[in-house]
Amino acid sequence: MTELIEWLPDGTPYSPRFGDRYRSELGGLAQSREVFLHGCGLPAAWAGQDQWRILETGFGLGLNFLVTWQAWQADPQRPRLLHFVSTEAYPASAADILRATLAHPDLVPLAEQLQAQCWGLLPGLHRLVFEGGRVMLSLCIGDTKAVLREQHFEADSVYLDGFSPSKNPDIWDLHTLKAVARCCRRGTRIASWTIARAVLDGLTQCGFEVRKTPGLPPKRDNLQGSFDPRWEPRRTSQFTQLAASHCVVLGGGLAGAAVAASLARRGWQVELLDTHPAPAGGASGLPAGMLAPHVSPDDSLLSRLSRSGVRATWQQAQALLQPGSDWRASGVLERRLDRSPGLPADWPQAGLDWSEAAGPQQLAQAGLHPADGPACWHPRAGWIKPARLVQALLAQPGIRWRGGAQAARLRRDVSTGLWEVLDARDLCLAQAPLVVLAAGHASARLTEGGLPLQAIRGQLSWGLHPAGNAAAFPPFPVNGHGSFIPAVPTPEGPAWLAGASFERDQDNTEPSPLDQRANFERLQGLLPAAAQALAPAFAGDGARAWTGVRCASPDRLPLAGPVDPARQPGLWVSTAMGSRGLTFAVLCGELLAARLHGEPLPLERRLAQALSPERFQA
């Protein structure tokens, strides 16, 4: 639920819900810098670190984040990565976040970037990225106690913020403070503006040593402290943070490129091996693919995962690709041919940023009518050329491409802890302490006992626009039983794409006339007007074929994580994206890197567990 904010005559934002100001009487900027940033010993404390992880209770209007981001920008000794995890039960609107910053002109450029990403903030975790992926804001929407149960990481600094304990006691109660303590390591520094006795006693009970410090007028005192319990705290992160070193990634498609990019941003030297001579030589060589969230009336696991994936890929496309030629944020119409509404009945306002019932105008643009059945409109959707995204991901420093490298098996040297990648003649192609398998269904044969991966053959039909028939095509992609993407630019002119087949346990790439016919039949059901315009192309030689082999798991969800940490340490996997490689590859790359480094995850814990390869171990 979005918070409705009132603005007092002096320009101070005010919450009618809690009957309290968002800022101290002295002003929010001084409070953010003196109470929270400097109260946690920053920026000096993070100097020279690889990463720094800050936990905040109560995001509010984002001022603490903006001040911390600004300090990170200005510090020549800043950490390579800054993670800022913030909880918020009632997020403010993007417009109010920007308005609250206008009084501080030096923060406005940062606030504008934040505003542009504050959309679709449904309950759950939303990863917003800035500075080329080096500043990451994890917005956890919901009750602080509940959302922190879904985050397992060790914070280096904690900003205890929120409305006054007398106005909003839940965010200061003992259960919330225990949830905060579970995210701390010994030595984590904590700061707050409140010195309420219940808060001081609760923090002491949870293992914090706290003290009063001089406050900002008119407040006499603030609170500072550190986590130093008398007992040994349990680790919240499953994996010890690794020092970046050398890594080998097998597979040069979307999955492998995304893993390589995520690790390279963290300082790894990545050697990427692929059997093809150039990147995206397999299924990621698709001429263009659709990026759109999955929807379901019960907002299923797949639906929630897909939103996180779409956001992650959308961010990379905006940062790395050329709009119009490499991708287009056109929106996508989804026909619900099963005649179900698709969306949850109680879909909140924030959900409309993601998906809503299609209106008459959108249906008409696709040559459809309301009588043709329900449809959904996805505003944050469009088409992308996967090969261009692969190339852009691999272009950053720290990644070395090696094509024509056929890995036959892996061998681990127990004495050195290094994995060796061997070819068919048992010659070593590469070695490293970490190997990530991202080679689609071929990944299965490189692990002991294999992985439950299935080859899925897909054939896409495509061709150049026929002269004079542009009006028969919608101005945006359409999905349903089959899909259609209009007007993708190619060197020969604008092209249309229709398909695709889905053949299990098939890995041949020879075009099939039967699949061409099946694609046309699907198009007839999906978009009758477009099918009629393309009938001559399918009847003659105007419809070309592209085939590729995708990879899926038994539950149709990706595998991202360690293969078998007990028996095969240092062997990880990112694969089984199915027909949603554009949705999942970037997200899985970030999930894998976060788990390797003990970082805050880009997903709620239960969603991340659903992607773990360990779910298939006996």
Kindly report, residue by residue over 86-114, the tens digit of the pLDDT: 999 999 999 999 999 998 999 999 999 99
pLDDT at res. 12: 85
Categorize the per-residue pLDDT at 235 as very low, low, confident or very high, splitting at 50, 70 and 90.
Answer: low
When pLDDT is averaged across residues 239-255 and rounded to a whole number, the result is 84
Whether the pLDDT of residue 3 is over 80: the answer is no
Within a domain: 568:
yes
Task: Work out the mean pLDDT of the chain and round it to a whole number.
Answer: 93
Identify residue 478 by its one-letter amino acid code: V
Whether the pLDDT of residue 590 is over 90: the answer is yes
Same-domain status, 55 and 155: yes
CB proximity list for 232: less than 8 A, separation 6 or greater? none
Rounded to the nearest angstrom, the gap between the alpha carbon of residue 425 and the centroid of all alpha carbons in its chain is: 40
Same-domain status, 163 and 284: no
Same-domain status, 444 and 459: no
Domain boundary among 227, 255, 271: 227
Segment 185-194, tens digit of pLDDT: 999 999 999 9
Categorize the per-residue pLDDT at 339 as very low, low, confident or very high, splitting at 50, 70 and 90.
Answer: confident
Within a domain: 607:
yes
Within a domain: 233:
no
> Left, alpha or beta for 187 (phi > 0: left; psi -120 to 50: alpha)?
left
Segment 289-329, tens digit of pLDDT: 999 999 999 999 999 999 999 999 999 999 999 999 999 99
Which tokens sit at 531?
Answer: 């099918």
The conformation of residue 240, written as its DSSP 8-state character, comes to P
Instruction: Kindly report which listed range (380-394, 442-456, 483-497) carries the lowest average pLDDT score.
Output: 442-456
Residue 309: closest CA among 320, 288, 293, 323: 293
29 or 253, which is more confident?
A: 253
For the chain, give the longest Cα–Cα distance: 83
Same-domain status, 308 and 217: no
Within a domain: 608:
yes
Same-domain status, 189 and 121: yes
Domain boundary among 513, 528, 552: 552
Q: What is the Cα gyration radius of the chain?
A: 26
Match 């692929």 to its residue by tokens: 274
- Global pTM reads 0.95
| Nearest-angstrom CA–CA distance, 449 and 170 | 49
Within a domain: 232:
no
Instruction: Kindly report which listed range (531-535, 563-567, 598-602) carries the lowest average pLDDT score.
Output: 563-567
Segment 367-385, tens digit of pLDDT: 998 888 899 999 999 999 9
Number of domains forming the structure of the chain:
3
Beta bridge mates, 378: 332
pLDDT at res. 260: 98
Residue 506 sits in a domain whose CATH number is 3.30.9.10
Segment 265-282, tens digit of pLDDT: 999 999 999 999 999 999
Contact assessment for residue 65 and residue 612, using Cβ atoms and an 8 Å cutoff: no
Which 3 state secondary structure label does DSSP give 410? strand
pLDDT at res. 370: 87
Contact assessment for residue 443 and residue 581, using Cβ atoms and an 8 Å cutoff: no
Categorize the per-residue pLDDT at 238 as very low, low, confident or very high, splitting at 50, 70 and 90.
Answer: low
Same-domain status, 365 and 388: no
Q: At what angle do helices 581-597 and 254-265 cross, to 10 degrees?
A: 30
Same-domain status, 474 and 618: no
Identify residue 189 by its one-letter amino acid code: R
Same-domain status, 216 and 282: no
Segment 30-50, tens digit of pLDDT: 889 999 999 999 999 999 999
pLDDT at res. 265: 96
CB proximity list for 233: less than 8 A, separation 6 or greater? 181, 184, 185, 186, 207, 227
Q: What is the 3-state secondary structure (H, E, C) of 363-397?
A: HHHCCCCHHHCCEEEECCCEEECHHHHHHHHHCCC
**Could you tell me what percent of the chain has a pLDDT over 90?**
81
**Alpha carbons within 13 A on the beta-carbon side of 127:** 31
Contact assessment for residue 310 and residue 355, using Cβ atoms and an 8 Å cutoff: no
Residue 273 sits in a domain whose CATH number is 3.50.50.60
Pairing of the two strands 495-499 and 81-88: unpaired
pLDDT at res. 340: 82
Match 């340490």 to its residue by tokens: 569
Segment 158-190, tens digit of pLDDT: 999 988 888 888 899 999 999 999 999 999 999
Whether the pLDDT of residue 81 is over 60: the answer is yes
Within a domain: 345:
yes
| Nearest-angstrom CA–CA distance, 202 and 210 | 10
Within a domain: 483:
yes
Categorize the per-residue pLDDT at 210 as very low, low, confident or very high, splitting at 50, 70 and 90.
Answer: very high
Same-domain status, 110 and 175: yes
Same-domain status, 213 and 351: no
Identify residue 317 by its one-letter amino acid code: A
Contact assessment for residue 367 and residue 358, using Cβ atoms and an 8 Å cutoff: no
| Nearest-angstrom CA–CA distance, 526 and 335 | 7
Domain boundary among 227, 247, 263: 227
Residue 34 sits in a domain whose CATH number is 3.40.50.150
pLDDT at res. 240: 52
Categorize the per-residue pLDDT at 228 as very low, low, confident or very high, splitting at 50, 70 and 90.
Answer: very high
Which residues constitute the domain of residue 582?
Answer: 238-331+384-453+555-618
What distances in angstroms separate CA 73 from CA 47, 80, 136, 320, one per listed residue? 12, 11, 13, 21
Same-domain status, 37 and 172: yes
Within a domain: 420:
yes
Same-domain status, 364 and 391: no
pLDDT at res. 74: 98
| Nearest-angstrom CA–CA distance, 428 and 420 | 6
